[in-house]
Structure 1
Amino acid sequence: MVYSFIPVFGGLIRVFELAGGPQIAPENPRALLAPLPITLHILSSILFCVLGAFQFLPSLRRQRPAAHRVVGRVIAVAGSVSALAALWMTHFYVFPEALQGAPLYWVRMVLGTAMIGLIIWAVIAIRSRNVFQHSASMVRAYAIAQGASTQTVMGIAWIIAVGSEAMGPLRDGLMIFAWVLNLLAAEILIRSMLRPAQRRQKNSPLPTIPPSTLRNET
């Protein structure tokens, strides 16, 4: 939630502006021409990233499974809307070359499509009682959705280090690298925490029934 703060705060400011509030952030002509996609993207991304953070709590999954399922349904819809809106904006918004080159365009299209596919696969997996595949798919989808957070951190760090904002191919490279870092972190999390838990469940011995219980039952 802390990691999501800057993109969430900036997104809410943009929604406030599009709703008729005073302009605070730099003007975005694309948002003014077609405000609905960016509004849907911001609001659904906030739901997915903030509510999704609670889904990582073991206490919520174990002690409140009903709440975990309800929140899961909400973020599955929110994540799909967020990715669909991102795909629409990537393809139909007209970006200057300094803000989006061909590499960034294709990476956004691939990752947006992959995020929707991961969410669908996570839903299918949990309906088949495959908890590991469900969790792994949602972690990967969450890593894609949190790309804006890592991109913000890297962008601020670049401005502090260099004194100017990265533009053009350099900006594309930094934004793509942010997704690479997120997906790498997701795979480390899956292999270090989720997969060992799956192996422990598979290798755990079957519970033994005391002889006294058998005698009582017979």
Structure 2
Amino acid sequence: MNSTTKKDKWIIGSLLFLSFVPSVAGLVRIFQLTTGSGYTVENQRFFDDPIPVLFHIVSVLIYSIFGAFQFAPGFRNQHLTWHRRSGRALVFFGLTSAISGIWLTLAYPKVPTDGDWLFGIRLFVGFWMLFCLVLGFGFALRRKFHLHSHWMIRGYAIGMGAGTQVFTHLPWFVIVGGDPSGVPRDLMMGAGWFLNFLFAEWIIRKKGK
């Protein structure tokens, strides 16, 4: 096994691991919505209007899982045709994920556990992801692949926020217990996206050296 292969496996494995809990949660939500099980007051909004959330979950699942293979340099270089073709599809699913996330934020009623900040945070990250993907795709069309890579990293990092939020919530679950609400929930949700943003910028600057 050469060093490139080891690096590829580490990158793909880490990203798939990060997407594991949100993917399982998404599959559970799909099962609930398609079978009518697990109805509660907290998730009533999903049952009242299930189509947008189903679009969001499916898009996020495809984008997060298959997107992991786009960032492994050895795998990408050995499968350039696959990278280009699947990349176009993943841009579509990434855009669908961002747009549906914005729609859910604007159209669905606010849940009691959300604080006043989370609405604005969700809108910001949704539009930021949208901006990153559009810009990244535009740079690919212009064959500016260096900038294309940078903006796709940013877009994917924001799209993987739910995976990091599992870890930003973990101290609360261990120390306090129960589901957080209000400002603590807003801060923990925001921290997941912010940490991914910082990590993406670190990766981009590391690549530039």
User: 2:60 matched to which residue of 1?
Assistant: 45
Q: For residues 168 and 138 of structure 1, what CA distance do their matches in structure 2 show?
A: 32
**Cα offsets for 1:146-195 (capped at 9, x unmatched):** 111111222233201222321111100111111111100000000012x1
The answer as to whether partners of 2:42 and 2:111 remain within 8 angstroms in 1 is: no
Give the C-alpha shift of residue 25 in structure 1.
Answer: 9.0
The answer as to whether partners of 2:39 and 2:47 remain within 8 angstroms in 1 is: no
User: 1:205 matched to which residue of 2?
Assistant: none
Q: For residues 98 and 18 of structure 1, what CA distance do their matches in structure 2 show?
A: 21
Structure 1, 67-76 or 54-63: larger mean CA deviation:
54-63
User: 2:80 matched to which residue of 1?
Assistant: 65
**Cα offsets for 1:56-115 (capped at 9, x unmatched):** 11122211100000110111000000011100110111113422x332111111111111
**Cα offsets for 1:9-67 (capped at 9, x unmatched):** 01001001111164399961110011011101000001111111000111222111000
Greater radius of gyration (CA): 1
Map 1:96-107 → 2, pairs under 5 A: 96-99=111-114, 101-107=115-121
Structure 2 residue runs of 5 or longer lacking an equivalent are: 1-15
The answer as to whether partners of 1:60 and 1:67 remain within 8 angstroms in 2 is: no
User: 2:138 matched to which residue of 1?
Assistant: 124
The answer as to whether partners of 1:13 and 1:24 remain within 8 angstroms in 2 is: no
Tell me the TM-score normalised to structure 2 length.
0.88
| One-letter amino acid matched to 1:145 | G
| One-letter amino acid matched to 1:180 | F
Structure 1 residue runs of 5 or longer lacking an equivalent are: 197-218
Between the aligned residues of both structures, percent identity stands at: 35
User: SS state of the match for residue 165, structure 1?
Assistant: coil
Tell me the TM-score normalised to structure 1 length.
0.84
Q: For residues 89 and 137 of structure 1, what CA distance do their matches in structure 2 show?
A: 24
Q: For residues 111 and 96 of structure 1, what CA distance do their matches in structure 2 show?
A: 19
Which runs of 4 or more aligned residues in structure 1 lie more than 3 Å from their structure 2 counterparts after TM superposition? 24-27
User: 2:95 matched to which residue of 1?
Assistant: 80
Higher relative contact order (CA 8 A, sep 6+): 2
